[in-house]
Structure 1
């Protein structure tokens, strides 16, 4: 634990629980023990973006979009 009260969650636990940056967790005290609990709420970032798949309505080719992003067009 840091002086600011921050803790590091081991990689194996993060992977098992699906904890990624921006995931909210709670610490629950029960009978003298403390448990880390992943908060229910918005899904992970991957799921959030998958909901948007196919939503764009721009009538441009990939090459045209890439040219715009690169400043070529």
Structure 2
């Protein structure tokens, strides 16, 4: 789970395993695999970093893979 903030300032946690798309419209919009959308204050890059940190913390993404992803950007 990652912690993000709604536009009204209230924070909530979202299961990052179900995140399908993160876009900026210019507000950051997270779309889940079930089609539900959430608009958050965090930037697209911040959400991406939170997702990567979560995956790494549960052992789904190793440090080496994370370094390769960062070099691709």
Query: What is the TM-score of this pair, normalised by structure 2?
Result: 0.21
Looking at both structures, which has the greater relative contact order when contacts are Cα pairs under 8 Å and sequence separation is at least 6? 2
Say which structure is richer in strand: 2
Say which structure is richer in helix: 2
Query: What is the TM-score of this pair, normalised by structure 1?
Result: 0.21
Structure with bigger gyration radius = 1
